[in-house]
Amino acid sequence: MTSHAQNKKYIVVLDAGHGDHDPGNVGNGYREKNIVLKVVLEIGKQLKKNKDIKVVYTRKTDVFIDLWKRGDIANKAKADLFVSVHCNSHSSNAYGTESFVLGLGANNKNFKVAQEFVQKENSVIKFEKNYKERYKNFNNSAESKIGLSLVQEENLDKSLALASSFQKGFKNKLKRKSRGVKQQRFVVLHQTYMPSVLVELGFLTNKSEGRYLNSKRGQKQMAAVITSSINNYINQLKLNTVSVNGDEILADIDTPVIEDDVEESSVVFKVQIASSKKRIATKSYNFRGLRNVERVKVGRYYKYYYGNTSNYSEAKSSFRKTKKKGYKSAFIAAFKDGKKVSISEALK
């Protein structure tokens, strides 16, 4: 019996930001559009060595592509992953790498600071024809008011896992400064239906970082880290073990505050042990002896939970049990009135 899953190629869409008449930022005279294209082509070259992966580029040359079209390319390719590569700029001497996943926007604590960066990457819209018409729904789309849809949440978990792997790689392997993983409303992330990360390689406006990113060595090193993170991510996808180590990442993220005027609410904690496109029978022999595993379908994915309880210390002991069983990426998820919420909100 041959399994379809075994033959499946995972499609990774690589998006080099900007292009042609949109140079991106030109800090210290460097050109973002050229640097990110070189890095993306290098990532693609390396990724193609992995037989499980098919690479699709939004651009391979110095051409301009509308933001919506970048997402459209990924959606039409039915991509498993979308990675957009950029370089940052600032009037200060700021430096360091950061990775962004889709966020809700206006609820962020650091909204003002972050907004400055968002506007910069989003501002390329003005190079597009009919942009007012095209993106008129962006600023008042439903999820900016009511939160992310379940599919977006599932994608967010996966995006966070990859984004944090990028940041760890830059920091640990290359000793670059990590500015962390952040949640923002980038248009290009908003257009895609799959896990998506926008990575800022560093600041061209910073003299030494700009020089590093413009050098062949810098581009190869940054590409190597991104490639290795993507390879790990795809391997984890195959093994159904992609998930976020909540404690570590959420510290870096501005968790959106969702206003809630419910007086009494029921809070439930569960340990998420796996997430997969595969529907697996919730028998204990499929889950290393864990009993009463719950399966919940979220969009195209199934999430597998263990230990349904309203008691947080009980949840922590279930969590330790799953770790002992080898579910290294298990984490505690909280639900309030059936909706996923952050642990801190659940504990309020």
Stretch that binds Zn ion, among 82-90, 141-149, 188-196, 224-232 (CB under 5 A): 82-90
Q: Is 86 in the site for Zn ion (CB under 5 A)?
A: yes
Of 17, 44, 202, 218, which one interacts with Zn ion (CB under 5 A)? Answer: 17
Q: Is the CB of 187 or the CB of 273 nearer to Zn ion?
A: 187
Binding span for Zn ion by CB under 5 A among 20-28, 240-248, 274-282, 332-340: 20-28
Q: How far is C-alpha 206 from the chain's CA centre?
A: 26
Our CB check for Zn ion shows the closer of 85 and 315 to be: 85
Binding piece for Zn ion, criterion CB under 5 A, among 7-15, 16-24, 94-102, 130-138? 16-24
24 binds Zn ion (CB under 5 A): yes
CB of 25 to Zn ion, least distance (A): 6
# of chain residues touching Zn ion (CB under 5 A): 4
Q: Which residue stretch of 71-79, 116-124, 310-318, 334-342 sits at the interface with Zn ion (rule: CB under 5 A)?
A: 116-124
Least distance to Zn ion from the beta carbon of 210, Å? Answer: 14
Toward Zn ion, which CB reaches closer, 100 or 212? 100
Does residue 19 bind Zn ion (CB under 5 A)?
A: no
Name the minimum Å distance from CB 209 to Zn ion.
Answer: 15
Shortest separation between residue 197's beta carbon and Zn ion, angstroms:
14
Rounded Cα distance, 289 and 306, in Å: 11
| Residue whose Cβ sits closest to Zn ion | 86
Task: Choose one: 19-27, 105-113, 148-156, 264-272; the region binding Zn ion (CB under 5 A).
Answer: 19-27
SS (H, E, C) the chain: CCCHHHHCCEEEEEEECCECCECCCCHHHCCHHHHHHHHHHHHHHHHCCCCCEEEEECCCCCCCCCHHHHHHHHHHCCCCEEEEEEEECCCCCCCCEEEEEECCCCCCCCHHHHHHHHHHHHHHHHHCCCHHHHCCCCCCCHHHHHCCCHHHHHHHHHHHHHHHHHHHHHHHHHCCCEEEEEEECCHHHHCCCCCEEEEEEEECCCHHHHHHHHCHHHHHHHHHHHHHHHHHHHHHHHCCCCCCCHHHHHCCCCCCCCCCCCCCCCEEEEEEEEEECCCCCCCHHHHCCCCCCEEEEECCEEEEEEEEECCHHHHHHHHHHHHHCCCCCCEEEEEECCEEECHHHHHC
Cβ 18 to Zn ion shortest distance, Å: 6
Residue closer to Zn ion (CB basis): 17 or 307? 17
Q: Which is nearer to Zn ion, 86 or 336 (CB)?
A: 86
Positions that interact with Zn ion (CB under 5 A): 17, 24, 86, 121
